[in-house]
Every structure is written in C-alpha cells, then in structure tokens.
C-alpha cells in the first residue's frame, strides 16, 4: 500500500504560469518532506524540503506548502519555465532519530509549454 501518493501522473502548464504539484501521505509518522526533480536518464535531484514544524518553505521560484491535518503537501513553481519540464517526485521521511529512508510517490510529469 502506497504511503505517499501523487495522483496526477502528468501536468501541462503554459510558460510563465504557476505549476502546482500535489502529494498526499498516509503515515502520520512522517515528519520531513522533500521534492526531487528528475530528468530522463538522470538521477533525482533534490529541489526543496520542509519539516513538519513548518507549513511553508520558499526557495526562489519554488515554494512547498504542508498541511499536516490533511496530510497533504504541494509544490508551487512560479513562474514556470520550459527547463522545469521533468518528473517531480514527492518524498517523505520518518523522524530524525530513525533511519532516513525516503518513501517516494510515483511522480508527476510536468511539461511547461513555451
């Protein structure tokens, strides 16, 4: 049973507009969440993270929002650029006292149209 779910396998957005990628999780023990970006034939690249003690973290064009009560997080990309086209994985991690194995969602393919 998947503990991290990305229900949208694909998303297309016009260049300059906002991209919103969503992720839901079921395990309430997760306390650290990450987004990775993956280009074809490459490994996942870390993008941004958020601790469960926060509800928002921002880094340039990328903002991650966490709603713990809904067990939901989202990644906002503003403005979207063609180079952002990639597969985006949401990942979650248990508390820092245990092994930091990541549990991933199945990914969302983002296509930014010029």
DSSP strands (E only) in 10-102 = 10-14, 19-25, 32-38, 45-51, 56-59, 62-67, 72-77, 86-93
- Region of 18-26, 34-42, 65-73, 74-82 interacting with other proteins (CB under 8 A): 34-42
Binding to other proteins by residue 23, rule CB under 8 A?
no
Binding to other proteins by residue 53, rule CB under 8 A?
no
The CB-of-52 to other proteins minimum distance in angstroms stands at 13
Binding to other proteins by residue 4, rule CB under 8 A?
yes
Binding to other proteins by residue 28, rule CB under 8 A?
no
Q: Which is closer to other proteins, CB of 14 or CB of 106?
A: 106
Among residues 15, 61, 62, 104, the one that binds other proteins under rule CB under 8 A = 104
Rounded CA-CA distance 42/53 in Å is: 32
Q: Which of 66, 75, 58, 73 is nearest to 110 (CA)?
A: 75
Q: Which is closer to other proteins, CB of 42 or CB of 114?
A: 42
Binding to other proteins by residue 101, rule CB under 8 A?
yes
The structure tokens 């306390």 sit at 31
Rounded CA-CA distance 49/75 in Å is: 10
């Amino acid at each position: 049973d998947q503990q991290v779910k990305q229900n949208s396998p694909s998303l297309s957005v016009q260049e300059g507009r906002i991209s919103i990628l969503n992720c839901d999780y079921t395990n309430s023990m997760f306390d650290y969440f990450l987004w990775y970006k993956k280009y074809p034939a490459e490994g996942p690249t870390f993008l941004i993270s958020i601790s469960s003690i926060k509800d928002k973290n921002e880094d340039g064009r990328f903002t991650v929002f966490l709603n713990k009560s809904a067990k939901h997080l989202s990644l906002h990309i503003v403005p979207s650029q063609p180079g952002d086209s990639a597969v985006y994985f949401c990942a979650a991690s248990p508390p820092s006292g245990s092994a930091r194995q990541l549990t991933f969602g199945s990914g969302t393919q983002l296509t930014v149209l010029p």
